[in-house]
Chains A and B, each alone.
Chain A
Amino acid sequence: MINSVSIGVFVALFLVFIFLGFYGSRWRKGDLRKLKEWGMAGGRLGTFLGWFLLGADIYTAYTFIAVPSSLFAKGSIYFFAAPYVIITYAFAMWAMPKFWRIANKHGHLTVADFVRSVFNSRLLAISIAIVGIVAELPYIALQIVGMQAVLIALLSGLGAVNTIIEVALVLSFIILAAFTWTSGLRGATLGALLKDALILVTVAVVVVSVAAVGGLHSAIINASATNIHYFTLPSSLYNAYWSLFILSALALYLYPHVTNATLAQSSPERVRKTASLLPLYSIGLGFLAMFGFFIYGIPAALKYVKLFPASVQGTQIVPGLILTVLPSWLSGAALLGIFIGGLVPAAIMAIAAANLFTRNIAKEIKPKMTPHGETRTAQVFAVIFKFLALGFVFIIPATFAIQLQLFGGILILQILPAFVFSMITRKLNKWAVFLGLVFGVFLGIYMMLAANHYATWTTTLIATGIGPVFIGLIALLANVVIVIVGTFIAKALLGERAYAADQVLD
């Protein structure tokens, strides 16, 4: 259980992490007052660091907290995260080197820059930027939930549960804001190295420890005694399963923080090679997801988790296993890994959202901004976006935090036609793409509200004739239909003038 040793190790390693953050601002020194330096590490990351930076996009609170939590609460359906983090890299290997080359040649730093020059449309570029920023907010909120979960575990011996939950939230937020402001993407990348090392060790040691006491076997027996489907997927959920993993796979590389990390690498060949090896990284995610039923093999951990109200119970799965099966000093280190596993990605996401805001919205309004003014704007908005993200923390019970990421996915998927289709064909009409985007976003939000009966959000599946299906699939299909039909109509009315500007792809 938690004691002064684990807290001491946690604090000591946190100081090391803070040092790395500040050191990061000097490392491979660039002028941090410039946006490309603060927000993209100057675009000089090779395979190794690129791998860690992109790894930071997978090893987030999504992996440590949200997936195990929902698997514990709802069963095998949430193991969709495993095929998701395999398939997404096939998509990345195809789309990202293409994007890197075009962006590099034309000086694009964001997807909105790219869309603006392909479609020669300021309106479309601003819309893409807004959707990108809004989609990051629930994902950032998920990271805050993860950091909160760790602080709850650390403070759990101290008193009233509800007070601890609130204090943990405020602390998480302050630490996040301060960290992002000071070091930018460089500091975040160095932090990612420490985080991943701690996490990989933690996962390995927990799995071995659980297995060593016969926990895998008793987990299967005890979990089978519950009324949740843990070990097979009910056939009614097949369509939910594949729609969740395929659409999540398409969504990941559309997020501003991921395209940003992609462009921060130094060549398209490296982008592709990095992506091809990332499924290895996913092994840790798979094991962490299975902690959602492993916990049934360790009675003390299950007892710890049940101390909390159902609304936050799931978030304590991984902390609970860490606190019960690891020695105190290692549990402190492991909890720190999870804590910065929320902190670093949240910083990366806020930086990406702020970059996008500065380049594609603020500069459209105020074109004469100085380079240093740009960076300051981005820093200020990185903080503002984190405040907005906080709003999402309150509409979803922490146990269902995975819905935050899935909701972000529903939104970001809507930029797929504008971004990805336009790398394949030039024959798209900008108004059709714009209408598809807007309709897809609003349909997604509407279905989200309806599927949850206008109350707190616990699902992103909606009932259809073929069983429950991920809302992102339906919203994207509607979007694509509008893009195709709209483009045909525009072609009939305008002829060749209906199409996207075509010089950019050459």
Chain B
Amino acid sequence: MGKGIDAAIVILLLIPLVALLLIPTYNSEYPIIGGLPFFYFYQMLWMPLGALLFYIAAVLWNRRDRRAGISGRGIGRKAHRGSRR
């Protein structure tokens, strides 16, 4: 179970990064949505979306850390060992 949760956390954190790094995919003035050129609209959209994905990641991650009972490290070998029963 630990591995799957780790992967989910990493993916949740990476989605906004990848979406924003693909500059050519959103580098366009049109369509204009809500009065904003697409270049702006798209990046603005990733603020609430990012918060949503990050929040889910934070909840999973905190739960995982608590279960692992770690004190000195976050995601890492030692914590992982702790989470295996």
| Physical interaction between A and B | yes
B23 touches A505 (CB 8 A): no
What does the 1/0 interface line of A218-258 toward B look like (CB < 8 Å)?
A: 00100000000001110100100110010000000000000
Is A272 in contact with chain B by the CB < 8 A criterion? Answer: yes
Query: Taking A233-B23, A282-B47 as contacts, is the C-beta distance between A98 and B74 under 8 angstroms?
Result: yes
A273 to chain B, nearest CB (A): 5
B35 touches A93 (CB 8 A): no
Is B5 in contact with chain A by the CB < 8 A criterion? Answer: no
Interface size on B, residues (CB 8 A): 40
Which residues does chain A contribute within 8 Å of B50, judged by CB atoms? Answer: 86, 89-90, 279
Please measure, in the bound complex, the distance between the C-alpha atom of A292 and the C-alpha atom of B62, giving whole angstroms: 39
Is A211 in contact with chain B by the CB < 8 A criterion? Answer: yes
Query: Taking A101-B73, A273-B55 as contacts, is the C-beta distance between A279 and B48 under 8 angstroms?
Result: yes
What does the 1/0 interface line of B53-83 toward A look like (CB < 8 Å)?
A: 0110111011001100011111110000000
B47 touches A279 (CB 8 A): yes
Which residues does chain A contribute within 8 Å of B28, judged by CB atoms? Answer: 232
B23 touches A238 (CB 8 A): yes
A275 touches B72 (CB 8 A): no
Please measure, in the bound complex, the distance between the C-alpha atom of A217 and the C-alpha atom of B62, giving whole angstroms: 45
B82 to chain A, nearest CB (A): 13
B16 touches A286 (CB 8 A): no
B74 to chain A, nearest CB (A): 4
Which residues does chain B contribute within 8 Å of A217, judged by CB atoms? Answer: 35
Query: Taking A276-B58, A277-B51 as contacts, is the C-beta distance between A216 and B36 under 8 angstroms?
Result: yes
The B-contacting residues of A in range 92-124, CB under 8 angstroms, are: 93-94, 97-98, 101-102, 105
Closest to B16 in A: A86
What does the 1/0 interface line of B1-44 toward A look like (CB < 8 Å)?
A: 00000000000011011001101100111001001110110011
Select which of A98, A101, A235, A245 is within 8 A of B20 by beta carbon: A245
Closest to A102 in B: B72
B43 touches A101 (CB 8 A): no
Which residues does chain A contribute within 8 Å of B76, judged by CB atoms? Answer: 424
Which residues does chain A contribute within 8 Å of B32, judged by CB atoms? Answer: 220
B55 touches A276 (CB 8 A): yes
Please measure, in the bound complex, the distance between the C-alpha atom of A212 and the C-alpha atom of B36, giving whole angstroms: 14
Select which of B13, B37, B72 is within 8 A of A90 by beta carbon: B13
Which residues does chain B contribute within 8 Å of A233, judged by CB atoms? Answer: 23, 27, 39
Which residues does chain A contribute within 8 Å of B70, judged by CB atoms? Answer: 101
Select which of B21, B36, B62, B72 is within 8 A of A273 by beta carbon: B62
A79 touches B40 (CB 8 A): yes
Is A299 in contact with chain B by the CB < 8 A criterion? Answer: no
Which residues does chain A contribute within 8 Å of B72, judged by CB atoms? Answer: 101-102, 105, 505-506
B20 touches A275 (CB 8 A): no
Query: Taking A93-B13, A272-B61 as contacts, is the C-beta distance between A231 and B47 under 8 angstroms?
Result: no
Which residues does chain B contribute within 8 Å of A85, judged by CB atoms? Answer: 47
A290 to chain B, nearest CB (A): 6
Please measure, in the bound complex, the distance between the C-alpha atom of A276 and the C-alpha atom of B12, giving whole angstroms: 11
Leading 4 A-B pairs by shortest Cβ distance: A216-B35, A276-B58, A276-B54, A231-B29
| 19 residue pairs A–B, Cβ–Cβ below 8 Å | A83-B20, A86-B50, A87-B20, A90-B17, A93-B54, A101-B71, A220-B32, A231-B29, A231-B37, A232-B29, A268-B65, A272-B58, A273-B55, A276-B51, A276-B54, A277-B55, A279-B46, A280-B47, A280-B51
Which residues on B are within 8 Å of A, measured CB to CB? Answer: 13-14, 16-17, 20-21, 23-24, 27-29, 32, 35-37, 39-40, 43-44, 46-48, 50-51, 54-55, 57-59, 61-62, 65-66, 70-76
